[in-house]
Amino acid sequence: MRKSMILLPLILIILIYGQGYNQYEQESGFSPDIGMKAIAGKVAILYVSSDYGITPCFGIWADLGHFTKEIGLDAGVEYWNAGRTELEATVQKSDIGIYATIKYDVDIEKIRPFLGGGLGVNIYKKKYPDEWDRPDEKKNKLELHIDMGARYSIHPKIDLEGRFKANFSDVSAYGLHISALFKVGEK
């Protein structure tokens, strides 16, 4: 039931978008440019709910091009691991997140600010100390996120990006990400 509540609006948006796109393409002269445009490594500082505090995050992501001049797509994978002290022992929580983001961006010479949002899957694992009589927990959760930031071109083949991203799931995480993007397929 939950999946259909997410998929149905998504399918409707795609159908409505597809019908209006032919007119947009004729008026603007822009056609979609979807495919791998850049690959990036990123590091981040995350605030993971009040229980775990601040922790590092690492990831890779890809710029997947633009549907229109202003609407782009990216997707990636992130990992973080945090611990907290509970009853004089450390409980570890880790997450592998796989996500896609649709963003609105504007090209202003070398700077490209953006605002976006998307959907992802978080694969959480909570590990309890060995001396506790409690099994480790694993769960997969859908998450919504919003993000904003800017890209700055430092070389024809390399961009830097700063991004603030907020994930909203059963464990909310807020992060400042810095990425180096390496453009592929461009001359």
- State the DSSP string of 131-174: TSS---EEEEEEEEEEEEEEEEEEETTEEEEEEEEEEESSS-EE
- Determine which of 16-25, 51-60, 153-162, 169-178 has the lowest per-residue pLDDT on average: 16-25
**How many angstroms separate the Cα of 74 from the Cα of each of 27, 91, 110, 119?**
26, 33, 19, 11
At 109-152, the pLDDT tens digits run 889 999 999 999 988 888 888 788 788 888 888 889 999 999 99
Q: How confident is the model at residue 18 (pLDDT cuts 50, 70, 90)?
A: low
The domain 32-183 having CATH identifier 2.40.160.20: the answer here is: yes
Q: For residue 109, what pLDDT is reported?
A: 80
Q: Is 32 helix (H, G, I), strand (E, B) or coil?
A: coil
Residue 170 pLDDT more than 70? no
What does the domain layout of the chain look like in residue ranges? Answer: 1-31, 32-183
DSSP string for residues in 35-59:
EEEEEEEEEEEEEEHHHHEEEEEEE
> C-alpha distances in angstroms, 8 versus 12, 14, 72, 116, 122?
6, 10, 22, 21, 21
- Angstrom CA distances, 33 to 71, 133, 134, stand at 11, 54, 50
